Amino acid sequence: MSNADIITAHYAASDRGDLDGMLAPLADDVSWTEAAGFPYAGTYLGPDAVAAGVFQRIQDEWDDYTVAIDEVIDGGDVVVGIGTYSGTYRATGRFFAARVAHVWRLIDHRVVAFEQFTDTELVNRALRD
């Protein structure tokens, strides 16, 4: 299985709502960075921190939140996913859609680093009344 296949499997697990499948490729010491300005901005260390600080919060705060990845670019130990986020923020009832790029870094078929790039203003508009 190539690194791109591993990341594609992560996205497929996300589509299914399979948290264990989403966390499976993450190294124990993964460094997961959400973009500055994003509601969950910061760097989370380890799969448990990613699950609690990002995935659980998205599940708790959004309706129909999706990550629709259009393209996975195989750069060997660096894989890039490009797509669109969308969802409705429960507290305001506002919908958003924003393009996104994810940069994944892998060593020995394990994700050691992740970084998100997105238009955080489009996301934050959904949070505002």
**Residues 10-34: tens digit of each pLDDT:** 999 999 999 999 999 999 999 999 9
Which residues have C-beta within 8 Å of that of residue 94, sequence separation ≥ 6? 88, 125, 126, 127, 128
What is the structure's pLDDT at 35? 97
Contact (Cβ atoms closer than 8 angstroms) between residue 100 and residue 82 = yes
Per this entry, what is the length of the chain?
129
pLDDT at 129 over 90: no
Joined tokens for residue 79: 């894989």
Using DSSP's 3-state secondary structure scheme, residue 7 falls into: helix
In the chain, % of residues over pLDDT 70? 100
CATH number for region 3-127? 3.10.450.50
Helix, coil or strand: residue 75: strand
Question: Is residue 88 within 8 Å of residue 63, measured between CB atoms?
Answer: yes
In SS3 terms, 95-118 reads as EEEEEEEEEEEEECCEEEEEEEEE
Mean pLDDT of the chain: 97
Decide: pTM greater than 0.75: yes
Phi, psi for 36 (deg, rounded to 5): -55, 135
Does the pLDDT value for residue 79 go beyond 80? yes
Residue 18 has what pLDDT? 96
Whole-Å CA distances, 100 to 46, 88, 109: 22, 17, 23
